[in-house]
Amino acid sequence: MTGTLILVRHGQSEWNLKNLFTGWRNPNLTEQGESEARATGRALKAKGIVPDLYYTSALRRAQHTLDLMLEEMGIDNVTIIRHTALNERDYGDLAGLNKDDARARWGEEQVLIWRRSFDVPPPGGESLKDTAARTLPYYQSEILPQLKAGKTILIAAHGNSLRALVMAIEGLTPDEILKREIATGQPTVYRIGADGTLAGKVEI
């Protein structure tokens, strides 16, 4: 028996478009982001995927993405579990700043370290290691048991909270996960075995 885990990063947000650090700030989707979410919903429907459980973060860009996907899949009247453990990485003092302005203020090398190191957080914020420290326990306690039982689970979340999950599921090193790009609106689908380990990937 294998479970199915579908990970979807939210569609393009208004702040993605403006090149701003977002983190726990709460912009909504752009028209492109809405289109990305709908396209993923149609793709999952075409594969005949019908999730048993739905998870998302406490941030509306992820929630809106999930709502649009469900609309395209023809699924309604379901319980959606929203939790801050699945929120994006908290960018602290960088949140709301244009990435070019941040480079001008702190220097390109320092901003690159904050963005692309595993365990160096920006001022007042979280590193990817910190993000994993809140995301993975939630996954292991709430989601993984359902996958082991053969359930199909859809998670709509964020680039870095999903990176934390991908790192654990695929057994990647900190260097490997930092090189992994997770595109807006694009699904990653895993088969998870009864022992909780990766049993394969599904192309969508």
Which residues are known catalytic residues? 10, 88
Please list, residue by residue across 155-170, b when 16 or more beta carbons sit within 10 angstroms of its beta carbon and e when fewer do: bbbbbbbbbbbbbbbe
Look at residues 70, 75, 69, 7 and name the one whose alpha carbon lies nearest to residue 38.
Answer: 69
**Closest of 78, 88, 13, 73 to residue 204, by C-alpha:** 73
In angstroms, the Cα distances linking 6 to 9, 52, 147, 162, 189 are 10, 11, 11, 11, 4
CB hemisphere CA count around 165 (13 angstroms)? 31
